[in-house]
């Protein structure tokens, strides 16, 4: 059995140069902590920046006219809810450590109002051998520095070599014949509803904080054995606009329908500290537990921590109606939405 925890920790020790990265940390498993967010993307960022891939011409931004599959894949019950997965091998070593998560049915009316108007079509391709990578559509929130991308990998004889964890996250092992990635920090999940033998549909949540040009997102496909050899699609991201967000704690917290951005030092948190508890409270009395280490729950799709600036970004596994929220609890402290 593949040890996701050990893999995350091994890769997390890699760092790019100061020009490519600030001291960036995407949260990973620790023996003491159950959370599973990784720094594996640091390796991907290095590889992408070093490669000389040909970019496809950028496209203009238009509303994505057929959002149903995308919205269901990102925010619906594409992955079944789970009480978590904790497994040990025959020697007593922890090999799988994934907190509980909950996926909810997509609220179509909320999706159409808060997210669908900001989806944009891409429709660009990169070809590597017999493989074709197509970036279909995306969403980017400049206020968050985060977004999502919907894309696919095709091969006439089938796409193989990838692994999928119980929570739906997909990755390409070292012995995979091909690999695909973005140059942004992020995490990719499988769209099980749309994937076929010859088409692998992928959902990527990403953060652009350490991309030199945040408006230039790159998606690449290449040789699984030589990861400098790849073909690339360039996706131009909007510099303005995006889903409506709200601010709390005098701007230290920004809430968007797709994620939350927290200025840790402004809240009195250590600049290099992980955030182990984030709970969104709705006015109707219900809660969205985004993170709770003590309860062993994680409903975020990706988490990113800049250890120099203290910026913490977490993307949601559902669309959050910010107009219906009452407060947010972070590390035991409540921050109401009506706070000036």
**Tens place of pLDDT for every residue, the chain, 340 residues?**
334 444 343 333 332 333 333 333 343 332 223 333 333 333 333 333 333 333 333 333 457 777 889 999 999 998 999 999 999 989 999 988 899 999 999 999 999 999 999 999 999 999 999 999 999 999 999 989 999 999 999 999 999 999 999 999 999 998 899 999 999 999 999 999 999 999 999 999 999 987 767 678 999 999 988 888 999 999 989 888 889 999 999 999 999 999 999 999 999 998 887 899 999 999 999 999 999 999 999 999 999 998 888 899 999 999 999 999 999 999 999 999 865 4
User: Angle CA(182)–CA(185)–CA(188) in degrees, nearest 5?
Assistant: 60
CATH number of 246-336: 2.60.40
pLDDT at 56: 31
Contact present, 275 and 265 (Cβ < 8 Å):
no
Q: Please give the Cα distance from 53 to 232 (Å, whole number).
A: 6
- CA distances to 40, 62, 217, 221, 289 from 161, rounded to whole Å, are 18, 34, 25, 13, 34
Residues 163-206 pLDDT 10s: 999 999 999 998 899 999 999 999 999 999 999 999 999 999 99
Q: Which residue has the tokens 């969104």?
A: 280
Query: Where are the domains positioned within the chain?
Result: 4-76+105-236, 246-336
**Number of separate helices (H) and strands (E) present in the chain:** 4, 23
Q: How far is CA 315 from the centre of its chain?
A: 6
319: CB partners within 8 A, 6+ apart: 75, 106, 107, 110, 111, 114, 115, 257, 258
**Which of 216, 205, 171 lies closest to 43, judged by CA?**
171
13: CB partners within 8 A, 6+ apart: none
Q: Which two tokens stand for residue 93?
A: 């070593």
pLDDT at 212: 67
53: CB partners within 8 A, 6+ apart: 218, 220, 230, 231, 232
pLDDT at 62: 54
238: CB partners within 8 A, 6+ apart: 61, 120, 140, 142, 215
Contact present, 176 and 161 (Cβ < 8 Å):
yes
pTM of the model: 0.81
- CA distances to 171, 231, 304, 318 from 145, rounded to whole Å, are 23, 25, 11, 18
């Amino acid at each position: 059995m593949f040890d996701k925890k050990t893999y995350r920790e091994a890769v997390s020790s890699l760092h790019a140069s100061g020009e490519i990265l600030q001291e960036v940390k995407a949260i990973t498993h620790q023996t003491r902590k159950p959370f599973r967010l990784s720094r594996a993307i640091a390796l991907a960022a290095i590889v992408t920046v070093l490669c000389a891939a040909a970019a496809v011409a950028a496209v203009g931004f238009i509303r994505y006219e057929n959002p149903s599959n995308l919205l269901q894949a990102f925010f619906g019950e594409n992955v079944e809810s789970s009480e978590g997965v904790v497994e040990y091998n025959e020697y007593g070593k922890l090999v799988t450590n994934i907190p509980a998560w909950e996926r909810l049915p997509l609220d179509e009316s909320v999706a159409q109002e808060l997210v669908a108007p900001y989806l944009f079509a891409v429709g660009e391709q990169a070809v590597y051998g017999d493989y074709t990578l197509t970036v279909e559509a995306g969403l980017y929130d400049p206020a968050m520095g985060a977004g999502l991308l919907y894309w696919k990998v095709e091969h006439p004889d089938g796409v193989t070599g990838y692994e999928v964890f119980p929570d739906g996250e997909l990755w390409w092992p070292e012995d995979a014949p091909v690999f695909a990635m973005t140059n942004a920090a992020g995490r990719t999940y499988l769209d099980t509803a749309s994937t076929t033998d010859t088409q692998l549909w992928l959902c990527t949540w990403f953060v652009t904080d350490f991309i030199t040009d945040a408006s230039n997102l790159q998606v690449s496909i290449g040789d699984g054995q030589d990861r400098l050899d790849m073909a690339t699609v360039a996706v131009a991201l909007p510099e303005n606009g995006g889903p409506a967000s709200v601010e709390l704690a005098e701007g230290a917290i920004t809430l968007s329908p797709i994620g939350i951005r927290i200025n840790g030092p402004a809240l009195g948190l250590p600049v290099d500290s992980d955030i182990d508890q984030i709970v969104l409270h709705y006015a109707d009395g219900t809660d969205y537990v985004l993170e709770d280490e003590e309860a062993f729950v994680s409903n975020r799709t990706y988490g990113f921590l800049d250890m120099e600036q203290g910026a913490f970004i977490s993307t949601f596994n559902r669309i959050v109606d910010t107009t219906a929220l009452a407060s947010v609890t972070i590390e035991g402290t409540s921050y109401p939405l009506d706070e000036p």
